[in-house]
A and B are shown apart, each in its own frame.
Chain A
Amino acid sequence: MKQEPIKTEAIEITYREAVREALRDAIKRDERVFLMGEDVGRYGGCYAVSHGLLAQFGPERIRDTPLSESGFTGAGIGAAMAGMRPIVEVMTVNFSLLALDQILNTAATVRHMSGNQFGVPLVIRMATGAGRQLAAQHSHSLEGWYAHVPGIKVLAPATLEDARGMLWTALEDPDPVLIFENVMLYNMTGKLATDAGPVDIDKAAVRRPGRDISLIAYGGSLWKTLEAATTLAGEGIEAEVIDLRSLRPLDDATIMASVAKTRHAIIVDEGWRTGSLAAEVGMRIVEQAFWSLDAPLGRVCSEEVPIPYPRHLENAAIPQATKIVAAVKAALGRA
């Protein structure tokens, strides 16, 4: 990953603000860029990401839409095909299913269906993940489903740098790019360089080097995985943590290089276990790095239930650092 090193001063910033800075930067850079979605204008976005942007850029650039995901996603596709660079915000991935026909049957296929006459340079941002007690209709992690679809790219920014830098690179892509922002990250604070800028969107990143096991995670699970790695280090287990960043395409080279070194891998994925992105990553490891493996692969995924409302059940349903630690110890025979 070629993130800009922090060479000037860094400022304290939240993930939410980093996304907002990315939006502000894109709207300023390119007059074809506009943001469209439910409550993105007057309300400032359901997660307050676009707070203040309507006042700054006006209703032409920050457009409130009716509660109709299929309608405004389709409008975004049309605008993109006609030469604009729309950013469509969908409140959560659960609601994006109302727009699934537009995303899968139109956005992902138009270049192929038109014999390369039309492309859809559209960016769709949406929130994903559990942990805020929003219950089963607002808390799922379906980004793995989108990663199944050829014709689109699927990103999962987990760091401030990626929240700030992935949007512009995605807007420059000639095809649809979906950006999944985990709801638990919006309040995350950290230092970000004031001159942080665009980053690549096709490479995984090693967030913590280690020799004993590769922990492959993305999005909100990255931080739980890093927490687990810190715990494990206290017990003499050096875990290497990989942030996938891009779920489609997957950066096989970074994954395999890590597994070849550590010979063990656990995949952490907030999606449900069956048919998960974790399953895809695991299968690729078996296909490409089988002879490097020293133990069965492992997965830490969500339990196969609709995400529960009560906090203790919600926490129990999704990956947590303690579960990751236990999985690592089992894989290394230290359980």
Chain B
Amino acid sequence: MVEFRMPSLGADMEAGTLVEWLIKPGDVVKRGQVVAVVETQKGAIEIETFQAGRIDKVLVDLHSKVPVGTPLALILAEGEEKPAVATAVPPPAAVAPTAAPSLERPPMAPARPVSPVRPRVAPGTQVSPAARRLAQERGIDLSTVTGSGRDGAITYADVERRAAEVMAPAVPVAPAERKRAPTLDLGAMRVAIAAAMARSKREIPHYYLEHQVEVTACERWLAEKNATLPPEGRLLFGALPIKAVALAIRRFPAFNGFYRDNKFAPSPAVHVGVAISIRGGGLAAPALHDVDQLPLDELMRQMRDLIQRTRAGRIRGSEMSDPTITVSSLGERGVETLYGIIYPPQVAIIGIGKAVVRPWVIDGAIGPRSVITMTLSGDHRVTDGHAGALFLAEIGKLLQEPEKL
């Protein structure tokens, strides 16, 4: 019996709301199968199981918000019998669904029934333990509750009253409406970006390097290659630096991985996060997996799919949490140079500016050439500028032979 838990879909995710089950008890699931959709501050994310088997039991109701790590379902491994005595699973500790993340809030405790999460409440407000527990169970944000107890303390009855108010409008929601495709909540996404970026600038000592790379060879090669391909299969320039970064990492593993608990753990796999802007002002950087192993056309196909799904608000959980390095490109409409802010717990972000035609010296003569400015924002706790310079140079070198990418 394996517990399928609420995954962490990013460094700042504390809790997620289960909005859709794609399985039901009795279903057989494969490893990697999408089994549920979870609404996070970054939008609705499809989450996969890493355990093959049969769904035994679903533990969390739709629309409940639970902390990361909470068991969501029980999966029986293939051939495993249901145990005679039901596995004791602590009830999920719900959290206030309306609670916006606060940077000042202490990290949320893992789901333990005896240690409820600390609800958000204005300093100085007294909340009885029973009221706190009820608020947690019913998902009531204590900052929305008016206290009626001694000295304005929030009591059990106050939370009960508030819970009744909160629940009331939810009743008329038609089932059809509840099943609608989850959409992106750009407001929440902005809050999540704010939290991640503020944390990055607070914790990560960034250093910045810039390197200009001539990409005429790339453009020429792309033109030849795309001439033979149908429009939907054509390669875009953006895929080439992503692949080059992934290949360069083989020689510079210190830029690929996570910095956690005061130490860096390099990742054996290269999952490149691709910064994708969303109309209306959102931004996400989901992963392309094992980019160093992907042929360019497959990389391109996956990139198109990822961009499309991200903009539709359907990103898989593993795509959100897996990136080991990020590549950000503002594309053709963008600027020549961009310096990224590292997405924690990653340790590097590569910025790709738009290609511009410049006078360039080749073999002692000046000629027009397409040039991009590539930047590296590196985490100085893990690497130094020297290594960063060599890393950028390696990426540039790889881009000179696009046919080998």
Given A263-B156, A294-B155, A294-B156: A333 touches B130 (CB 8 Å cut-off) = no
Q: Taking chain A's interface residues, is the majority helix, strand, or loop, or is none over half, making it mixed?
A: loop
What B residues does A330 contact at CB under 8 A?
A: 150
Q: Evaluate contact between A294 and B130: CB separation under 8 angstroms.
A: yes
Q: Evaluate contact between A295 and B116: CB separation under 8 angstroms.
A: no
Q: Evaluate contact between A295 and B155: CB separation under 8 angstroms.
A: yes
- Beyond A263-B156, A293-B129, A294-B130: 6 further Cβ-contacts under 8 Å? A291-B114, A293-B130, A294-B129, A295-B153, A296-B150, A333-B148
What B residues does A294 contact at CB under 8 A?
A: 128-131, 149, 155-157
What A residues does B150 contact at CB under 8 A?
A: 295-296, 330, 333
Q: How far is the CA of A330 from the CA of B149 in the complex (A)?
A: 10
Partner of A263, one of B114, B130, B148, B153: B130
Which range contains the number of A residues in contact with the other chain?
Answer: 10 to 19
A290 interfacial by beta-carbon distance below 8 Å: yes
Q: Pick the 3 closest A-B CB pairs, nearest first.
A: A294-B130, A294-B156, A294-B128
A231 interfacial by beta-carbon distance below 8 Å: no
Partner of A295, one of B114, B132, B133, B149: B149
Which range contains the number of B residues in contact with the other chain?
Answer: 10 to 19
Q: Which of B114-133 contact A (CB under 8 A)?
A: 114, 116, 128-133
What A residues does B114 contact at CB under 8 A?
A: 291
Q: Evaluate contact between A291 and B155: CB separation under 8 angstroms.
A: no
What B residues does A106 contact at CB under 8 A?
A: none
Q: How far is the CA of A32 from the CA of B127 in the complex (A)?
A: 59
Q: How far is the CA of A291 from the CA of B150 in the complex (A)?
A: 18
Q: Evaluate contact between B149 and A290: CB separation under 8 angstroms.
A: no
What B residues does A290 contact at CB under 8 A?
A: 129
What A residues does B156 contact at CB under 8 A?
A: 263, 294
What B residues does A293 contact at CB under 8 A?
A: 128-130
Q: Evaluate contact between B155 and A333: CB separation under 8 angstroms.
A: yes
Q: Evaluate contact between B128 and A295: CB separation under 8 angstroms.
A: yes
Q: How far is the CA of A13 from the CA of B128 in the complex (A)?
A: 46
Q: Mark A291-326, 1 if CB is under 8 A from B, else 0.
A: 111111000000000000000000000000000000
Q: In the complex, what's the smallest C-beta–C-beta distance from B125 to chain A, in angstroms?
A: 15
Q: In the complex, what's the smallest C-beta–C-beta distance from B129 to chain A, in angstroms?
A: 5
What B residues does A296 contact at CB under 8 A?
A: 150
Q: Evaluate contact between B133 and A291: CB separation under 8 angstroms.
A: yes
Chain A residue with Cβ nearest B113 = A291
Given A263-B156, A333-B155: A291 touches B130 (CB 8 Å cut-off) = yes
Q: Mark B152-166, 1 if CB is under 8 A from A, else 0.
A: 010111000000000
Q: How far is the CA of A290 from the CA of B128 in the complex (A)?
A: 9
Q: In the complex, what's the smallest C-beta–C-beta distance from B331 to chain A, in angstroms?
A: 53
Given A263-B156, A333-B155: A291 touches B129 (CB 8 Å cut-off) = yes
Chain A residue with Cβ nearest B134 = A294
Q: Evaluate contact between A292 and B129: CB separation under 8 angstroms.
A: yes
Q: Evaluate contact between B149 and A291: CB separation under 8 angstroms.
A: no
Chain B residue with Cβ nearest A331 = B150
8 contacts between A and B (CB under 8 A): A263-B128, A263-B156, A290-B129, A291-B129, A292-B129, A294-B130, A295-B149, A333-B149
Q: How far is the CA of A95 from the CA of B257 in the complex (A)?
A: 77
What B residues does A333 contact at CB under 8 A?
A: 148-150, 155
What A residues does B131 contact at CB under 8 A?
A: 294
Q: Which of B91-128 contact A (CB under 8 A)?
A: 114, 116, 128
